[in-house]
Amino acid sequence: MNAFTVDVEDFFHVSAFEAVCPPDTWDRWELRVERNTERMLALLAEHRVRATFFVLGWVAERCPGLVQRIHGAGHEVACHGHGHRRVNTLDREAFRQDVRRAKALLEDLVGEAVLGYRAPSYSIGPTSLWAFDELVEAGFTYDSSVFPVRHDLYGLSEWPRFPFRLERLDGEGAGNWVPAGGRGPDDAPTLLEVPITPVRLWGRNWPAAGGGYFRLLPYPVTRWALRRIRERDGRPFVFYVHPWEIDPAQPRIEGAGLKSRFRHYLNLHRTEPRLRRLLSEFPFGPIREVVPGLVPPSP
């Protein structure tokens, strides 16, 4: 199976709009995330697919029943932080409070450990690798915040494209994390990284597995890229989508830059039909079942 993942946030949470929709304005906007996530749940049920839902703590506080319905339908509930603040804009203490608050809230709602975390906008990068220390200390088993591509806002393009073990090296100071390669001590802290999967072409990683790229590229191009990953690399891919991407009627936010508005609103009306094709053409499951070793075998 491939991993199908959903970042559960509303249209006004996205980082592209953070300058014109700061957190103190969020309660003024129409809450659409619940109905859109319900549509996503119905779509997955129609295709008998279970997924991983990275739920924002802010959403969980306002829609606790939604989190419980996600869990009750057999999907994996994971953590998207609480306030949708990019990691590279936070200090360590603020990040610690954000992830622990969201993790505790989600675990209270579903009655089991939350294993995974995904940073808003894949914002763990070269200057914020200390976040992995905090994720280990908070009790997460895996992270899915690395996008190994070149992008103006995120990306660790030289890191592996498929799930790998991270380890912390010897030495003083925080954030000394690298893909595992036997360089750290035997007792070094480790964390499993589950990156968003790019396709390798012309000596470079290209994004192809969801989000704005799924809306930008014609569907046959996406299908070709995902099949190439499966056939050339022989590995499952990790796909992602947001509930607001199947909501073309969402309110338009004024004041954001042209690039931000283009990225956000492009082809929203095509996302759901494309998802139906995708779900009928590829097998999917939640991360905890697609990636080996995340859940210990039952005794």
Q: What is the mean pLDDT of the chain?
A: 89
Q: pLDDT value at position 172?
A: 43
In angstroms, the CA 167 to CA 176 distance is: 8
**What's the token pair of residue 148?**
């190994």
pLDDT confidence bin for 235, thresholds 50/70/90? very high
Say which amino acid occupies 143.
D
Greater confidence (74 vs 260) lies with 74
pLDDT in tens, 33-43: 999 999 999 99
> Domains in the chain, ordered, with CATH?
2-290 (3.20.20.370)
User: Is 75:49 a contact under the CB 8 Å cutoff?
Assistant: no
As a whole number, mean pLDDT of residues 140-145 equals 95
CA end-to-end distance (rounded Å), the chain? 24
pLDDT in tens, 182-214: 454 555 567 899 999 999 888 888 888 898 889
In angstroms, the CA 66 to CA 64 distance is: 5
Greater confidence (88 vs 51) lies with 51
Inter-CA distances, 212 with 22, 66, 117, 140, Å: 22, 25, 21, 27
pLDDT in tens, 104-132: 999 999 999 999 999 998 988 888 889 99
Scan for tokens 């097998």, then name that residue.
283
Taking the alpha carbons of 43, 44, 47, 48 in that order, is the dihedral positive or negative? Answer: negative
Percent of the chain with pLDDT over 70: 91
Scan for tokens 């993790």, then name that residue.
103
Inter-CA distances, 67 with 141, 227, 228, Å: 20, 32, 34
Scan for tokens 């506080």, then name that residue.
61
pLDDT in tens, 37-74: 999 999 999 999 999 999 999 999 999 999 999 999 99
Side-chain half-sphere CA neighbours of 106 within 13 A? 30
User: Is 227:278 a contact under the CB 8 Å cutoff?
Assistant: no
Scan for tokens 């280990």, then name that residue.
136
Least confident residue range of 25-39, 109-123, 270-284, 285-299:
285-299
pLDDT confidence bin for 299, thresholds 50/70/90? very low
As a whole number, mean pLDDT of residues 158-170 equals 84
Q: pLDDT value at position 261?
A: 86
In angstroms, the CA 32 to CA 9 distance is: 9
Helix axes 268-281, 33-46, angle to 10 degrees: 30
Element (DSSP H or E) covering residue 259: helix 258-265
Residue 79 has pLDDT above 70, yes or no: yes
Q: pLDDT value at position 175?
A: 62
As a whole number, mean pLDDT of residues 214-229 equals 94
Residue 167 has pLDDT above 80, yes or no: yes
Q: What is the pTM of this model?
A: 0.92
Greater confidence (8 vs 156) lies with 8
Q: Is 259 exposed, middle or buried (0-12, 13-18, 19+ CB in 10 A)?
A: exposed
Rounded to an integer, what is the distance from CA 30 to the centroid of its chain?
23
